[in-house]
């Protein structure tokens, strides 16, 4: 196969380069669709993969190379695929420790989505001191649940973890993770403003890793308390009412001639709206 013009030509700018690569990908795809020979199809897919890679569109480039290798095994293409897969394929990206939760966990983030809950990941995750760790999966994240605060864990992710893009984790990874204690926290259990007359007479306070709490009690007058309680609930209603009043003011301050002209030129719906607004204004 002759070299593609997009790879031989030297574009003068990025826009011209992008245009040539798009044309090369289109031509290679047409050749792939029309060909009935597996070798020609594989070569067309290799060209398509290269056009994507030159534009840093990694997932389609990897998929095209994988299908090309399924049609015809070529050592050079295999090397390109493995090199591209190592840098931009399915891989472990990062991990995080959720230590502030009541039940801490360690979560590992991957570059692609993981299979659903029906997939058993236990063969691929080993936690020191645990025979079968509790695992959870969501999108691109795999979490080890049920850990304890103040403990250190040796976690191993074994090669072979599957993904939805028909790639597996190529290398194993080992982690030595420490789950710190929760940050000090103090909070009330609710947001009620009025204490009950009977039964519980106090305000429960929940604390985490806190030995003492400094409290200041203020007396709020009835007027200020009413404004605090009602303010948030009425904010949205007040805003809507202000908007309605501004519309009504606009309608009513227009000169009589403008209002008449508005009634003559407006559609029946507009007349109805004006009439309703005026009627509502009278009621207010």
Range of the domain at 48: 5-88
- Summarize the confidence of residues 69-90 as an average pLDDT: 91
Residue 264, pLDDT above cutoff 60: no
Verify that 61 and 102 share a domain, yes or no: no
The pLDDT assigned to 250 comes to 45
The Cα 142–Cα 135 span in angstroms is: 7
CA dihedral 187, 189, 193, 198 (to 10 degrees): -130
Question: Residue with structure tokens 């030595």?
Answer: 176
**What are 241-259's pLDDT values in tens digits?**
555 545 444 444 444 444 4
**Quick one: which of 159, 167, 168, 117 has its CA closest to 138?**
117
Q: In this prediction, what percent of the chain has a pLDDT beyond 90?
A: 38
Tell me 132's DSSP state. S
Residue 214 lies in a domain: no
Say how far apart CA 36 and CA 39 lie, in whole Å: 9
- Read off the pLDDT of residues 94-119 as tens digits, 9 standing for 90 and up: 999 999 888 999 999 999 999 987 88
Distance set, CA 255 to CA 246, 251, 252, 259, 268 (Å): 16, 9, 8, 6, 21
Is 203 domain-assigned? no
**5 pLDDT above the threshold of 50:** no
User: How many separate domains does the chain show?
Assistant: 3
Q: Which of 70, 88, 106 is the last residue of a domain?
A: 88
């Amino acid at each position: 196969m002759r070299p593609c013009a997009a790879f031989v030509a030297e574009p003068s700018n990025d826009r011209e380069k992008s245009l040539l690569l798009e044309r090369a990908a289109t031509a290679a795809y047409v050749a792939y669709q029309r060909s009935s020979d597996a070798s020609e199809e594989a070569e067309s897919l290799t060209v398509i993969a290269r056009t994507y890679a030159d534009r840093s569109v990694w997932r389609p480039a990897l998929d095209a190379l994988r299908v090309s290798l399924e049609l015809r095994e070529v050592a050079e293409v295999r090397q390109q695929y493995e090199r591209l897969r190592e840098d931009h394929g399915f891989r472990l990206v990062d991990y995080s420790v959720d230590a502030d939760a009541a039940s801490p966990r360690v979560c590992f983030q991957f570059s692609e989505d993981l299979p659903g809950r029906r997939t058993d990941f236990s063969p691929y995750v080993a936690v020191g001191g645990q025979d079968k760790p509790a695992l959870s999966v969501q999108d691109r994240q795999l979490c080890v649940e049920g850990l304890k605060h103040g403990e250190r864990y040796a976690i191993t992710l074994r090669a072979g973890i599957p993904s939805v893009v028909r790639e597996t984790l190529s290398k194993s990874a080992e982690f030595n993770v420490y789950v710190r204690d929760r940050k000090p926290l103090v909070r009330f259990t609710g947001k009620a403003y009025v204490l009950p007359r009977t039964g519980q007479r106090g305000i429960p306070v929940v604390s985490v890793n806190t030995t003492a709490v400094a409290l200041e009690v203020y007396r709020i007058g009835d007027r200020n308390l009413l404004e605090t309680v009602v303010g948030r609930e009425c904010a949205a209603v007040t805003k809507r009412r202000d908007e309605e009043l501004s519309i009504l003011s606009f309608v009513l301050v227009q000169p009589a001639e403008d209002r008449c002209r508005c009634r003559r030129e407006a559609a029946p719906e507009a007349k109805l709206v004006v009439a309703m607004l005026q009627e509502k204004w009278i009621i207010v």
